Each structure stands twice: as structure tokens, then as C-alpha cells.
Amino acid sequence: AQSVTQLDSHVSVSEGTPVLLRCNYSSSYSPSLFWYVQHPNKGLQLLLKYTSAATLVKGINGFEAEFKKSETSFHLTKPSAHMSDAAEYFCVVSESGGTSYGKLTFGQGTILTVHP
């Protein structure tokens, strides 16, 4: 079985400061991990994904995430927040090798607020 825990329901930062959104996962098989972002009244947009290649994954809009198997973590970071980054972020896991082909399991989401 797979599960995802996002450690913060809300994160608030000032524009220009670093962003850290934390995610821990549990998976019985080799996981694929994703971060999706949802802006108000918009669909879920893929930020980045890890699928067993490089452990440091770069995504769109300057975001990146590092897969740490020993810590079962996949935290999302950005060096400098922009006002347009304000949104809800979802950490997502998908198992490969299990019986659940295609099923994504979502974390509960982290709302990022960016102050001027």
C-alpha cells in the first residue's frame, strides 16, 4: 500500500525568500513521485516527477525536489518565492510493480501563501 503525508497544511513566506514544502511517502514498491500545483479555479498542473533516474529533480518555474530513499522524503524547494507561486501543492505517489497500475495517491495538500 502507498501513502503520502504532507507535513504542513499551510506555509507562508515572503516574496524572494526560499520555499520548502515537506512530503514523506510510504510505498511497498519502487515509487514514482510527483508534485502537482493547483491555482484557484485551475486544474492540477504537474510541477515535476521522480521516476528512478536522478534523485534531484528539476521542474517548472524554478522548483526542484530531492528523492531521499533513506528518509522516505520528497521535499519541494524553490530558492526564491514569487507572488505567482501562491497556490495549493500536492505531493503524489504512484507505485510501479504492484497491482495498482495508474492509481495516484495524494497528500492532503499544502497551501502556500506568498507575502509582498
> Between the CA atoms of 75, 33, 82 and 45, what dihedral angle is there, to the nearest 10 degrees?
-160
Q: Is 97 in the site for other proteins (CB under 8 A)?
A: yes
Go through 89-101 and write b for each residue having 16 or more CB atoms within 10 A of its CB, e for each that does not: bbbbbbbeeeeee
Closest CA to 6 of 63, 65, 61: 65
Cα 112 to Cα 2, 14, 57: the distances in Å are: 25, 11, 20
Smallest gap from residue 95 Cβ to other proteins (A): 7
Residues 24, 32, 72, 77: which binds other proteins (CB under 8 A)? 32
46-85 footprint of other proteins as x/- string (CB under 8 A): x--x-xx---------------------------------
Q: Is 104 in the site for other proteins (CB under 8 A)?
A: yes
Residue ranges in contact with other proteins by CB under 8 A: 30, 32, 34, 36, 41-46, 49, 51-52, 90, 94-97, 100-109
